[in-house]
Structure 1
């Protein structure tokens, strides 16, 4: 009976929670990286050099970094429903406001404010999933949620490419309409969050009494087991001082540098072979479709085996090799194939990484620790795009920047091996 009840509850959690939070992240990621398509005409009209665009694209993560931990602690206190709604409405409005930048300084300011507005969304959802899904299903839940990022690229790239072929009307150019049109779903969904998101299992009217009792008991038991383990972190300050949190932040730094290098620069790297905006979007979608499949299958295998370390190391190495390949590639076919390797590697590494982090933290410690890993790690989202732009301006080629980001992923792989050997592998939960 217990196995049947477990299957029933996990199925309900999967269908009730995951599609909606995936949709939220889909829109979030689209609003973060659509600037890569806007750049096709925006950079010329605003007089942005590659270095300026790389700085503006990456400065989003400085605002994100500064407000990530406070935002997640507020979410832990007031509940995901209210705080995620606030986050989405404000980032939607600021994303739309990006249509009205007039030069590099206003571009930098809007990107910074967008990062401030969105701070807390991603780690908030990761924390939220840990409050609903038992340990054995957590990597799979995280993978489903994070699959929205490559899906956003796969579906959003052709849409963004098509919007970039619009003629000017209403006094606005195509890149301005891109920002406005793609910001609308964030505001609409932010309002929908107030109705559709449930803060915690004890408030879930869509679970029966038995289902609710089983889920609360399992999560409480796992929480007690974590508290009993040596090195468990349950308080915010303890998490911020925990060396494991800092090491995992550096690991995540490399994966974020790779992810946002793809998001901001892949359209321009593909575009240099002479494709139209729409064809660029279609080609940019191909690697992301394959990345979604790889992410889900890899996370499922990680949950099945209970192994996390090599499930992070192997994808990081694959992504690093792909970036080096992209730097040497001389044809559109070579670049797209290289981007497949990068997309698959970066996407596959993320779910096991977040599943590993949730094994030694809980409560306020998890809220602070997850936010710290994400905030410091996402500085890679600043460093990677900026390095590409700066080195492109200095050398005239994308290769040097791609090699630098590959190096950061190689460091991520080495740090994961180090933390794995020190005994921070996830332990399989027994239910």
Structure 2
């Protein structure tokens, strides 16, 4: 039986050590895949890229990202996080910085494809890494804190990107070139730091007292043994279990709502304000992400306390879909408020979602299954801008936002259709740990 006070101390110590660094990594990850939204107008005008080419290039990232997710996560499961996270961050940072050399549609397409391949495995790698370090009962709030990275990347990154865009002509470079270069090289620098800072598993943590380390290792092992006893830890499970396909569908629909808004939010805010994208628009664009950060802090904690992750996830995603729909046809002030609800919903729902597959899968099935869910779900990031562009071109703006709102509501239904197996698995894991 695990000494629970010792386990609590171990979990708190690991949280203080690891979560801020994982958060920093995610901030840079989200910023480097989405900063194209800030550069959209200036970048298109300078590089000669049409709206259709922009939508295609923004989405191409997710094709190679999805293609390399599973092999990347399996490699990390074998070689460890510190080596593989370093490799991922250094290469994606260099490719992101190379976006400054874009000239025309084809170089844009090529660099977005390379960026997807370089970054593949980062996000599912972090989710997998969390399962190595934190018991199931704590993962909702841990993942909630990790998900601060998405809103923080805009709270910090929106004004930063807006400022860098205003460096037009400095040392002969355009503002969007400065933005890609500086933000990309930051990611590479943090990647080098990750090699020296991260430990692969609790057993390697010399910074943790021996009794805490032993308690944490025992708790994680107990949960893994429950998953193995139910046949949810083998590689075959990741590809043949219908429940995994259900998770894939949910995550795909969530990602459509995320990236359908993210890639166009700066220009949408600029249109609401009647100005071009710059520092002012960057500051206003940060407002929805401040709301998202608060929602991501409180909602996963509430779900952990109430043990109602599924219901709260459905409500949260419903609010997001409603926000997207209202923002499409409202006055500027109401539209901005609606975007706050949309951003808060589609960010806060994601840590709730990841508690479902992480308590269901273990071992190599977790490595492959989490990567598969993220890979197939991330294809929503490819379809979202292209579906939005098609709907707007076919029916006139803002038809694309209404389509995205509808797909979000389908995601709500898919979450509600999840069965009760998750609760049963959580109860068995708690029994195996010796909780009372």
TM-score, normalised with respect to structure 1: 0.96
**Matching residue of 2:232:** 233
RMSD: 1.5
User: Separation in 1 of the partners of 2:66 and 2:245?
Assistant: 14
Q: How many residues matched?
A: 426
Contact 2:165 2:176 in 1 (8 A): yes
Contact 1:50 1:393 in 2 (8 A): no
**Matching residue of 2:314:** 313
Contact 2:255 2:377 in 1 (8 A): yes
User: Separation in 1 of the partners of 2:235 and 2:297?
Assistant: 31
**Matching residue of 1:407:** 406
1:121-159 Cα distance to aligned partner (Å, 9 max, x none): 000000000110011101111111111111111111011
Q: Does 1:189 align with 2:199?
A: no
- Secondary structure in structure 2 of the residue aligned to 1:382: helix
Q: Does 1:115 align with 2:116?
A: yes
**Matching residue of 1:383:** 383
Contact 1:54 1:390 in 2 (8 A): no
Residue 414 (structure 1) shift: 0.9
Residue 3 (structure 1) shift: 3.7
User: Separation in 2 of the partners of 1:137 and 1:281?
Assistant: 34
User: Separation in 2 of the partners of 1:104 and 1:395?
Assistant: 25
**Matching residue of 2:339:** 339
**Matching residue of 1:271:** 270
**Matching residue of 2:252:** 253
Give the stretch that moved more between structures: 368-377 or 276-285.
276-285
Q: Does 1:5 align with 2:6?
A: yes
Residue 62 (structure 1) shift: 0.4
Residue 344 (structure 1) shift: 1.1
Contact 2:253 2:380 in 1 (8 A): yes
Residue 86 (structure 1) shift: 0.2
Residue 261 (structure 1) shift: 2.0
User: Separation in 2 of the partners of 1:48 and 1:390?
Assistant: 17
For structure 2, list consecutive stretches of 5 or more residues without a partner in the other structure. none
Q: Does 1:291 align with 2:286?
A: no
- Secondary structure in structure 1 of the residue aligned to 2:170: coil
Contact 2:227 2:233 in 1 (8 A): no
User: Separation in 2 of the partners of 1:393 and 1:188?
Assistant: 41
**Matching residue of 1:86:** 87
Contact 2:391 2:403 in 1 (8 A): no
**Matching residue of 2:356:** 356
Residue 396 (structure 1) shift: 4.3
1:230-262 Cα distance to aligned partner (Å, 9 max, x none): xx4212222111111111111011111111122
User: Separation in 1 of the partners of 2:247 and 2:81?
Assistant: 24
Contact 1:53 1:389 in 2 (8 A): no
**Matching residue of 1:159:** 160
- Secondary structure in structure 1 of the residue aligned to 2:129: helix
For structure 1, list consecutive stretches of 5 or more residues without a partner in the other structure. none
Contact 1:258 1:405 in 2 (8 A): yes
Residue 395 (structure 1) shift: 4.2
TM-score, normalised with respect to structure 2: 0.95
User: Separation in 1 of the partners of 2:213 and 2:49?
Assistant: 54
Residue 54 (structure 1) shift: 1.1
